[in-house]
A = this chain, B = another copy of it.
């Protein structure tokens, strides 16, 4: 039996499903110099996939291609077996339907040599529920990217109950090796992390639109000209760490904590227990590391000046 290649020795990637997400993965793997074998059962899938890759290529070229990277390294396989036969890793990006994911992952599992990791781009299902029909679920793992996968660095990696720990480790190492920003979760939470946060915001936005409290355009402007500018470089936690002034997150929680009880958003707030307060304050301190609040303010202002300029938002 063959052994799994080292994460930095992958040469051939199979991409199963070639829509917006799958096609984005294909473009990214090609730009990093891999040979890519894609398969998608949809009619005219090849023309659409090549169109997606062509659209992504200028941005990828501008950011820098790996030596030898070429769109000529893409083959569209006639069937699933041909796509995965020689692959060092498989990335599945089928539509978000549980039954379809289950049967497709079982088919991939049956066709792919057992030492090869099979990763799913699912945006919310857990591998435990998706792997029920697979015979060798230990090498099935979630690797959830963000649109467009060829430019957004984040990938969330999380295994199911039957996923082997070394498969999670291998997947994270492989993705980091090719330039991705990887978050490894040690438990399955529906929607993972980023989509839960994004979805909370999105649901509140839908409530506002439904109630006539804000228009679609106002909602978008309220983010792009406000908090969204900060979130490109400081997350929500570090952002509030700065809102507290020199006292940081501790002062922020003590000053604005009571607003958790206010009817801002329709999401019920968690109780701000001393344990939660401590965890958040300590987490911010860990993340800030040696950077004082003043350092972070300078970092923020530098980034905001650059963003406002590059986005043409300077009046």
Binding site for B on A (CB under 8 A): 19-20, 55-56, 58-59, 62-64, 95-96, 123-124, 146-148, 151-154, 156, 178-179, 181, 183, 185, 187, 189-191, 193-210, 213-240, 242-243, 245, 255-256, 259-260, 262-270, 272-273, 275-276, 279-280, 282-284, 286-287, 294, 297-298, 300-311, 313-315
Please tell me if the beta carbons of B195 and A229 are within 8 angstroms of each other in the complex: no
Q: A269 touching B203 by the CB < 8 A rule?
A: yes
Which listed residue, B179, B215, B234, B268, touches A266 by the CB 8 Å rule?
B268
What is the minimal beta-carbon distance from A24 to any residue of chain B, in angstroms?
11
Contact across chains for B315 and A199 when beta carbons are under 8 A apart: no
Minimum C-beta distance from A67 to chain B (A): 14
Contact at B311–A232, with CB atoms within 8 Å? yes
| Identical copies of this chain, number | 2
A195 to B64 alpha-carbon distance, docked (Å): 38
| Complex CA–CA separation, A280 to B190 (angstroms) | 25
30 contacting pairs across A/B (C-beta < 8 A)? A20-B243, A59-B301, A146-B227, A148-B297, A148-B304, A152-B304, A154-B221, A156-B222, A181-B225, A183-B222, A185-B214, A191-B262, A196-B204, A196-B265, A197-B205, A203-B268, A205-B236, A205-B237, A206-B260, A206-B270, A206-B280, A209-B279, A210-B273, A216-B280, A222-B235, A223-B231, A223-B235, A227-B231, A231-B231, A232-B311
Whether A206 touches B265, Cβ cut-off 8 Å, given contacts A62-B305, A152-B230, is no
Which of the residues B96, B265, B303, B309 comes within 8 Å of A259, measured between beta carbons? B96
Q: A148-B304, A215-B283, A265-B267 are in contact. List 13 more A-B contacts (CB 8 A).
A: A20-B245, A63-B309, A124-B264, A152-B304, A185-B218, A190-B264, A191-B262, A197-B265, A199-B264, A216-B237, A217-B286, A220-B235, A267-B267
